[in-house]
């Protein structure tokens, strides 16, 4: 079986993970469209340090998390992350940071009002996870369920005072926006309720990479044989179920031919496709020849894939207190029970949930990282740096109530929706889809197990992991899974 040829499309964590486990048999090539490895892991210099354009934290850094295990083995994490109690903490995926919450009236909101509303929201969100497997969930989407529950409880909110109740609703609207960022969706009305509880959060306090998240893919890449990964090599078409021969070699034929945009072609027995679901949604019809079976195409159409972007702002001096790690924004006229404005031009910045303070300032400078999701986030990508910087200055002056707050000295933002080979950030289970669609997406082709040329196309990437979709550990595990599938086909000693 030594002559088996494997091509992986995409050198993100799924493609690199597959390569890691596949070394040692036949020839392996990873074709990456971008000029760098890592996919949606992308560290860049900004201000006096590094910032993460894509994946930010290891979610649930504990022994069950393969990203944490690799990062620990490679010595890429700080001493804090290695502490036993940090690994055991059940943080539900997103531990709270020391924060201040600003209202659009230009004042810091009462901590009590904020924590009451957040506690209610967290309780409702936890109850939304309990409908897994329910034959008849109370609503099709998480958003509709949460709004119905909020409406039911509003009369009892804030002890009946109208102003207090309005403020509680505004804070709940902000909680919904945060959940949109976490789920990578425009609205929680797009996220299916019944499968919502299938997603698994691992224990451990989220941590970051002191040397940048890209140190992980770089490390995996450096251990692969020279020439395995070809960068700036976008694929145009994958022809499968064929019989392709190399010029001058009549002895061997291959079932798959991978054609690149630059005219190069690679013949293979097996191709592992790790491209993002956003790319598949846009291109699957012309990317595969023959087209994918209808079941697979349907799963691609039904599953959700949204945008979550970041806006980094560098300041000469911090206007926030040293202990604050999160500055949250609440627009006090908003309510989850009111239809949000569809006027993106006038209101896009209101989807911003606030800013994380990058720590420590000695390493990063004085940098805030804002998070914004959905259509507003995609609209932000179309604006100039100057407009974004001006708008962020206006937002911060409004929230702090300080019209003289100095403008940031520089801005950098991600643009995941505009990225032609990504087309968004990560997947979610949309209304009308289920975890079964994730499994269908992960199913290799051809489907007939009796086929004489099995496993021509294998599928990996975060959107193919039923319980860890949207995460780097889901992506890595999916790459390992597909490598294992091939190792079993190749027989004993493969992948050693």
Q: Decide if 367 is inside a domain.
A: yes
Preceding amide of 2 cis, omega within 30: no
The secondary element (H helix, E strand) that includes residue 5 is strand 5-9
Question: 0.95 exceeded by the pTM?
Answer: yes
Q: Given the DSSP bridges, would you call strands 49-52 and 43-46 parallel, antiparallel or unpaired?
A: antiparallel
What letter does residue 474 receive in the DSSP assignment?
Answer: H
> Where residue 269 sits, what CATH number does that domain have?
3.50.50.60
DSSP-derived 3-state class of residue 305? strand
Preceding amide of 360 cis, omega within 30: yes
Q: Decide if 110 is inside a domain.
A: yes
Q: What is the spatial distance between Cα 346 and Cα 213, in angstroms, rounded to a whole number? A: 35
Q: What is the spatial distance between Cα 272 and Cα 151, in angstroms, rounded to a whole number? A: 47
pLDDT per residue as tens, the chain (496 positions): 356 999 999 999 999 999 999 966 668 999 999 999 999 999 999 999 999 999 999 999 999 999 999 999 999 999 888 888 888 887 665 567 889 999 999 999 999 999 999 999 999 999 999 999 999 999 999 999 999 999 999 877 656 688 999 999 999 999 999 999 999 999 999 999 999 999 999 999 999 999 999 999 999 999 999 999 999 999 999 999 999 999 888 889 999 999 999 999 999 999 999 999 999 999 999 999 999 999 999 999 999 999 999 999 999 999 999 999 999 999 999 999 999 889 999 999 999 999 999 999 999 999 999 999 999 999 999 999 999 999 999 999 999 999 999 999 999 999 999 999 999 999 999 999 999 999 999 999 999 988 899 999 999 999 999 999 999 999 999 999 999 999 999 887 554 4
- The verdict on 193 and 339 lying in the same domain is yes
- The verdict on 188 and 279 lying in the same domain is no
Q: How many C-beta neighbours within 10 Å does residue 358 have?
A: 23
Q: What is the pLDDT of residue 317?
A: 97
Domain boundary among 413, 439, 473: 413
Q: What is the pLDDT of residue 5?
A: 95
- The verdict on 254 and 107 lying in the same domain is no
Q: What is the pLDDT of residue 1?
A: 38
> Where residue 396 sits, what CATH number does that domain have?
3.90.660.10
Name the strands in the sheet holding 229-230, side by side, starting at the edge strand that comes first in the sequence.
Answer: 229-230, 27-31, 5-9, 270-273, 457-459
Q: Decide if 247 is inside a domain.
A: yes
Both tokens of residue 271? 């191709």
The CA dihedral of 371, 377, 380, 382, to the nearest 10 degrees, is 140
The secondary structure of 452-465 as a DSSP string is SS--SEEE-SGGG-
Q: How many C-beta neighbours within 10 Å does residue 428 have?
A: 27
Both tokens of residue 495? 């992948």
Q: Decide if 52 is inside a domain.
A: no
Q: Please report how many Cα atoms fall inside a 13 Å half-sphere around the Cα of residue 263, on the Cβ side.
A: 0
Q: Are 308 and 426 in contact (CB under 8 A)?
A: yes
Q: What is the spatial distance between Cα 431 and Cα 452, in angstroms, rounded to a whole number? A: 38
Q: Which of 307, 386, 319 is nearest to 355 (CA)?
A: 319
Q: What is the spatial distance between Cα 379 and Cα 493, in angstroms, rounded to a whole number? A: 51
Specify the residue for token string 């986030």.
377
- The verdict on 289 and 314 lying in the same domain is no
Q: Decide if 47 is inside a domain.
A: no
Sorted by sequence, the CB contacts under 8 Å of residue 12 that are 6+ apart come out as 37, 38, 39, 40, 41, 217, 274, 461, 475
Quick one: 323 exposed, middle or buried, by C-beta within 10 A (0-12, 13-18, 19+)? exposed
Q: Given the DSSP bridges, would you call strands 27-31 and 288-289 parallel, antiparallel or unpaired?
A: unpaired
Q: What is the pLDDT of residue 171?
A: 97
- The verdict on 107 and 195 lying in the same domain is yes
Q: Given the DSSP bridges, would you call strands 244-245 and 253-254 parallel, antiparallel or unpaired?
A: antiparallel
- The verdict on 16 and 132 lying in the same domain is no
Q: Decide if 50 is inside a domain.
A: no
Q: What are phi and psi of 470, to 5 degrees?
A: 80, 0
- The verdict on 353 and 235 lying in the same domain is no
Sorted by sequence, the CB contacts under 8 Å of residue 492 that are 6+ apart come out as none
- The verdict on 214 and 196 lying in the same domain is no
* Domain encompassing residue 482: 5-40+61-78+208-304+429-490
- The verdict on 177 and 221 lying in the same domain is no
Domain boundary among 363, 386, 413: 413
Domain boundary among 413, 440, 473: 413
Q: Decide if 296 is inside a domain.
A: yes
Q: Are 241 and 446 in contact (CB under 8 A)?
A: yes
Cross-strand partners of 6:
28, 270
- The verdict on 74 and 212 lying in the same domain is yes
- The verdict on 300 and 323 lying in the same domain is no
DSSP-derived 3-state class of residue 205? coil
Question: For the chain, what is the total number of helices (H) and then of strands (E)?
Answer: 16, 22
Q: Decide if 423 is inside a domain.
A: no
Domain count, the chain: 2
- The verdict on 126 and 174 lying in the same domain is yes
């Amino acid at each position: 079986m030594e002559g088996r040829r494997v091509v992986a499309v995409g050198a993100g964590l799924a493609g690199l993970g597959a390569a890691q486990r596949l070394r040692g048999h036949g020839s392996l090539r990873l074709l990456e469209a971008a000029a760098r490895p890592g996919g949606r892991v992308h560290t860049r210099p900004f201000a006096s340090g590094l910032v993460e354009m894509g994946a930010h934290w290891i979610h649930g850094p504990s022994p069950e998390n393969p990203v944490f295990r690799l990062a620990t083995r490679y010595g890429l994490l700080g001493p804090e992350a290695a502490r036993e109690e940090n690994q055991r903490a059940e943080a539900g995926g997103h531990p709270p940071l020391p924060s201040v919450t600003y209202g659009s009236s230009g004042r810091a909101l009462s901590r009590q009002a904020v924590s009451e509303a957040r506690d209610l929201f967290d309780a409702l969100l936890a109850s939304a996870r309990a409908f897994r497997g329910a034959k008849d969930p109370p609503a099709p989407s998480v958003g509709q369920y949460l709004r119905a529950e909020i409406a039911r409880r509003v009369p009892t909110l804030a002890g009946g005072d109208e102003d207090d109740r309005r403020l509680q609703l505004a804070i709940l609207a902000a909680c919904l926006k945060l959940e949109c960022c976490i789920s990578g969706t425009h609205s929680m009305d797009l996220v299916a309720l019944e499968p919502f509880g299938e997603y698994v959060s691992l224990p451990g306090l989220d941590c970051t990479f002191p040397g940048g998240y890209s140190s992980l893919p770089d490390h995996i890449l450096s251990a692969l044989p020279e020439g395995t990964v070809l960068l700036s090599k976008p694929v145009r078409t994958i022809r499968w179920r064929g019989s392709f021969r190399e010029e001058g070699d009549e002895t061997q034929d291959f079932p798959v031919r991978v054609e690149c945009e630059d005219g190069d072609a690679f013949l293979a027995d097996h191709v592992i496709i790790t491209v993002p679901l956003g790319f598949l949604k846009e291109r699957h019809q012309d990317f595969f020849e023959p087209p994918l079976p209808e079941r697979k195409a349907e799963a691609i159409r039904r599953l959700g894939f949204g945008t979550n972007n970041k806006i980094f702002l560098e300041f000469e001096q911090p206007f926030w207190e040293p202990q604050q790690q999160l500055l949250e924004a609440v627009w006090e006229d908003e309510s989850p029970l009111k239809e949000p404005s569809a006027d993106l031009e006038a209101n896009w910045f209101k989807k911003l949930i606030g800013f994380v303070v990058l720590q420590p300032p000695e390493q990063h400078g004085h940098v805030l990282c804002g998070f914004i999701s959905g259509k507003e986030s995609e609209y932000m990508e179309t604006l100039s740096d100057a407009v974004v910087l001006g708008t962020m200055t206006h937002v911060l002056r409004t929230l702090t109530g300080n019209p003289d707050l100095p403008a940031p000295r520089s801005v950098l933002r991600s643009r995941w929706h505009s990225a032609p080979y990504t087309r968004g950030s990560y997947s979610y289970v949309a209304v009308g889809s289920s975890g079964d669609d994730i499994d269908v997406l992960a199913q290799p082709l051809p489907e007939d197990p009796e086929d004489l040329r099995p496993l021509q196309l294998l599928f990996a990437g975060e959107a193919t992991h039923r319980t860890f979709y949207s995460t780097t550990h889901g992506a890595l595990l999916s790459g390992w899974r597909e490598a294992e599938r091939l190792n079993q086909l190749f027989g004993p000693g493969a992948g050693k």
